Amino acid sequence: MPGSSFLRSLLRSPLRTARVIAGPLAAGCAPPAQPLGPTRVDRDPSSLFAPHHVDGRFFNPWGPLPLRFGALLRWGFTPSAYDKQTAPVVPIVANDGAALAGVETSGSVTWVGHATFAVHDEDDVFLTDPHFGPRALVPRRQTPPGLPIEAVPPDAFAVVSHDHYDHLDAWSVERLPETMDWYVPLGLADWFRARGRTRVVELDWWQSARRGRWTITCLPSQHWSRRIGHAANETLWCSWLLQSDQRRYYFAGDTGYFHGFAEYGRRFGPIDVALLPIGAYEPRWFMGYQHMDPAEAHQAFRDLGARHMIGMHWGTFDLTDEPVDLAPRELAEAVRAHGGDPDRVRVLAIGERWRVPEADPVASREAAASTSFVAPASR
């Protein structure tokens, strides 16, 4: 990202300058131009259930995004602490996607890249924030998608966390099977319908939908939204819990560290797999509210009480100051520092298919029996 040579590059290369400004805007790193209200943080769990929509805009009731548009410029003119001359190292394994057409005897997770996973659980396949495309509006894909998009079966379904271009990709949506079902936060259904994708279910925070043996629940995340054609925070952002009698997956989408994780652990545990963002976090003064760093993601995993964590949101799009391959090394350091189990906290290679280890059946049954959930009214 930009450094002290920014002004020189502005004079030398208008194209590069345009990318410097447009890249973070496009990928959703930049905050909205409007002030979003006074900064306050309310860590009481009740704030997760508070109204979060006023005058056509959504907000995080426990503490709005504290940054304003000027912060983007400050970021642009601040030298980066990182040298990006060295090519990043992101592991990739070949995967033709043929396994998705079969039946998985338990659950498996394949990393396509960034926030995109293909979860294959028994005879169901679902995708998270499917992005197989060449760009996140401006930032170019650094590594190929881990599966061919054609391998996604016609009866797959998908959850979408928010409208930023590195999570909601028109290129992919238009090429995925028309028969797919989509689960999206409030305000995004029209975007899908405009592309002929009418099998779309729009949910508010704490609302659930049923699909076969799955309960799919939309949950708060600490983020925001904006896209060309959508005003800032005009559409909602969220994380997702996908729960069957056999397994529970939590997909965090894009989020800063917040008190939601502990609440989800209490309400929905035991969660088998937490898919948590670890990348696009520097500089912290600018990214801290909206993106977790690896140590915070590890803390979120512990708050959730999940059995396994897979780190995502790295290695695919160069969005922020740190190199795209730094996050996994920082995550490993966080795990070491807390005496964590590296078998339970991992990243995958792009294209890698990871089988979810079986849980202890007695412990799982007892924990499941103690979990009750009533969706409160919200918004």
Other CB atoms within 10 Å distance of the CB of residue 89: 11
Backbone angles phi, psi at 16, to 5 degrees: -65, -40
Q: At what angle do helices 294-304 and 326-337 cross, to 10 degrees?
A: 50
The beta-strand segments (E) located in 213-362 are 214-219, 239-243, 248-251, 273-277, 308-312, 345-346, 353-355
Among 141, 164, 226, 307, binds Zn ion (CB under 5 A): 164
Window contacting Zn ion (CB under 5 A); options: 157-165, 170-178, 352-360, 361-369: 157-165
Choose between 227 and 247: whose C-beta lies nearer to Zn ion: 227
Distances (CA, A) of 359 to 104, 235, 272: 16, 37, 8
Q: Say whether residue 141 binds Zn ion (CB under 5 A).
A: no
Choose between 141 and 307: whose C-beta lies nearer to Zn ion: 141
Window contacting Zn ion (CB under 5 A); options: 18-26, 90-98, 119-127, 162-170: 162-170
Choose between 242 and 319: whose C-beta lies nearer to Zn ion: 319
Window contacting Zn ion (CB under 5 A); options: 64-72, 166-174, 214-222, 266-274: 166-174
**Smallest gap, in angstroms, from Cβ of residue 124 to Zn ion?**
25
**What single-letter amino acid sits at 181?**
D
Q: Strands 181-185, 200-203: parallel, antiparallel or unpaired by DSSP?
A: parallel
Percent helix, strand, coil in the chain, to 5, is 25, 20, 55
Give me 73's structure tokens.
């410029």
Choose between 25 and 349: whose C-beta lies nearer to Zn ion: 25
**Smallest gap, in angstroms, from Cβ of residue 280 to Zn ion?**
6
**Smallest gap, in angstroms, from Cβ of residue 182 to Zn ion?**
18
Cα gap 100→353, rounded to integer Å? 10
In terms of C-beta density within 10 A (0-12 exposed, 13-18 middle, 19 or more buried), how is residue 260 classed?
Answer: buried
Among 3, 28, 97, 113, binds Zn ion (CB under 5 A): 28
Choose between 100 and 252: whose C-beta lies nearer to Zn ion: 252
**Smallest gap, in angstroms, from Cβ of residue 94 to Zn ion?**
26
Choose between 181 and 254: whose C-beta lies nearer to Zn ion: 254
**Smallest gap, in angstroms, from Cβ of residue 28 to Zn ion?**
4
Query: What is residue 99's DSSP assignment?
Result: G
Cα gap 152→167, rounded to integer Å? 17
Longest C-alpha distance within the chain, in Å?
66
Choose between 214 and 317: whose C-beta lies nearer to Zn ion: 317
Choose between 28 and 64: whose C-beta lies nearer to Zn ion: 28
**Smallest gap, in angstroms, from Cβ of residue 354 to Zn ion?**
22
Contact letters for Zn ion, residues 242-281 (x by CB under 5 A)? ------------x---------------------------
Cα gap 125→180, rounded to integer Å? 10
Query: Do the beta carbons of residue 147 and residue 350 sit within 8 Å?
Result: no
Distances (CA, A) of 78 to 18, 24, 193, 216, 373: 17, 14, 41, 42, 46
Query: Do the beta carbons of residue 340 and residue 297 sit within 8 Å?
Result: no
Interactions with Zn ion, residue window 65-104 (CB under 5 A): none
Among 104, 124, 163, 166, binds Zn ion (CB under 5 A): 166
**Smallest gap, in angstroms, from Cβ of residue 210 to Zn ion?**
28
Window contacting Zn ion (CB under 5 A); options: 20-28, 116-124, 214-222, 341-349: 20-28
Residue ranges in contact with Zn ion by CB under 5 A: 28, 164, 166, 254
